[in-house]
Amino acid sequence: MKILCAFGQYNYGNAERGESPEYSAFLPALRNLGHEVRLVETWNRRAYADLASLNRALLDAVEDFRPDVLLSVQMNYEIWLETLELIRARGDVITLSWATDDSWKYREVSRFIAGSYDAMATTYDHVVAQYRADGIDHVFATQWAAISDRLQEPLAAARCRYPVSFIGTSHGSRSQWVEALRARGIEVTCFGYGWPNGPVAAEEMPRIIRESFISLNFANSQGENQIKARLFEVPGAGGFLLTEPARSLENYYRAGQEIAVFADLDDLVAKINHYLAHPQARDLIAQAGFQRTRQEHTYEHRFIQLLRFAQSTSRARPRAMPVPTFEQAAARHRLTPALRLLRNVLMRLGALAFGKEKGPRAARRLVYELSWRLAGRHTFTAAGWPGRMFPHD
């Protein structure tokens, strides 16, 4: 099949944050399965004059590439619902959205955009019931995975370079965990945006993981521990994973046999010291985790199932909204003088309250939070206020 991907090469559309897991993982897995793949950049909004230009570029790519499937990963309102309805109206493209962070984004993004897709994929199996309660039956529970091209047999503990390592952006609780470990005499070598070592290239990550005696994973994000790609990447790269617990983790690995799980700081310190002192136990777990990953948890496994589901979903579902022309949608995407004035006032107030750097983001967040709560689906249309006022944020 021909698959057009709509997401970003870099995390949050910012090259300084390194390649996104979607770019690093989805494209090669789909190509390994024999599909022809093309990417449309939709996360780096500054590459476009406005969101009308971004959506026009997506439609042009559909017309030029003529894909069988459109696979998107939406940040929020960058792809208009009108654009999705225009693509669905062609009748020759299956539209599929991979929803990330549904533990909180379902409420403010996924439930509003789902009606304009033929199929939705979520990495939170417990959220499927909420989709269905809201009348969204075309949803499939999937999960992150390991990149098959980067699978490597584990190194013996004696050959590892880093005693304890962590790869990921420095923020919030992650920095607190690392500082708490250092206070207990355990040094953690950290890589990623915000750490002194900085981000590492995607192809370097498996080497660091494989050469680490222990690879840490901190699963917390906006309140609830989550399963992320790193859970599968570490065992797949031949690493020994020591992770926070997360809901449904037991569906993928056996704690104490294929990975190790810690409950709190005292438990984390105890388990680091235990496995550092027992390299043979560490090696047995790393090997078992690698074998489980290779057999069950690669993106090829995920996409075979997901694409089969997307193909089976009914194309006879009614449209979620009338299908306009692109010109009609774009005409509603104007920054009127009133909206411009409101944006400027909010940005100035935000700068006064939070500073010049964080102020504009605070202003955009305020408008977005009010919009999805009060206007719902309208937020994700061409006429939505956040997209008209803050097209590049």
The CA-to-CA distance between both ends of the chain, in Å, stands at: 33
pLDDT given for residue 201 in this prediction: 84
Radius of gyration over alpha carbons of the chain, in Å? Answer: 22
The one-letter amino acid at 160: C
Taken in order of first residue, the domains within the chain and their CATH numbers are 2-145+300-325 (3.40.50.2000), 150-296 (3.40.50.2000), 334-389 (no CATH)
As a whole number of angstroms, the distance between CA 74 and CA 45 comes to: 12
- Reduced 3-state DSSP string for 245-313: CCCCHHHCCCECCCEEECCCHHHHHHHHHHHHHCHHHHHHHHHHHHHHHHHHCEHHHHHHHHHHHHHHC
As a whole number of angstroms, the distance between CA 101 and CA 224 comes to: 10
> Contact at 8 Å (CB) between 58 and 80?
no
As a whole number of angstroms, the distance between CA 315 and CA 326 comes to: 22
As a whole number of angstroms, the distance between CA 393 and CA 339 comes to: 16
Angle at 298 between CA 297 and CA 303, to 5 degrees: 110
pLDDT given for residue 68 in this prediction: 97
pLDDT mean values, one per 10 residues, the chain (393 residues): 97 86 95 98 96 98 98 97 95 95 95 96 96 96 95 96 94 88 95 89 91 91 77 97 94 97 96 97 98 98 97 74 89 95 94 90 95 97 97 88
Q: What is the DSSP letter of 117?
A: S
Nearby residues of 203 by Cβ (< 8 Å), 6 or more positions away: 150
pLDDT given for residue 193 in this prediction: 87
As a whole number of angstroms, the distance between CA 55 and CA 357 comes to: 28
pLDDT given for residue 316 in this prediction: 63
